Structure 1
């Protein structure tokens, strides 16, 4: 596996993600909470190196 290019551009709470092929996805981050357009998942940063991510495979009843 070779080197991969990634770049992030922050515009306030909006984060644009780019790869070598161009635009990849966008994220929205407010405080410890964030949402990513590609994963369509919520994430919350916890103290230290921990974080919580929504399990998108579980269906809502």
Structure 2
């Protein structure tokens, strides 16, 4: 198993995601709801260790 570098930079509700190759994607998180630019998935945090995810397929 290899080592993976990840870094997140938060600027208010905007989150920038970086890997060893540089910029990866951005996310928007408002309260319990979040959206990721790469996966185009909506997530909603539920109580405990659970979350609900709705994927948006790319056309």
Q: TM-score, normalised by structure 1?
A: 0.89
Question: How far is 1:56 from its partner?
Answer: 2.8
Q: Which stretches of structure 1, 4 residues or longer, exceed 4 Å deviation after superposition?
A: none
**CA RMSD of superposed structures (Å):** 0.9
Paired residue for 1:52? Answer: 52
Over alpha carbons, which structure has the higher Rg?
Answer: 1
> How many residue pairs were aligned?
57
Q: TM-score, normalised by structure 2?
A: 0.91
Distance 1:11 1:55 in 2: 24
Paired residue for 1:36? Answer: 36
Structure 2, unaligned runs of 5 or more: none
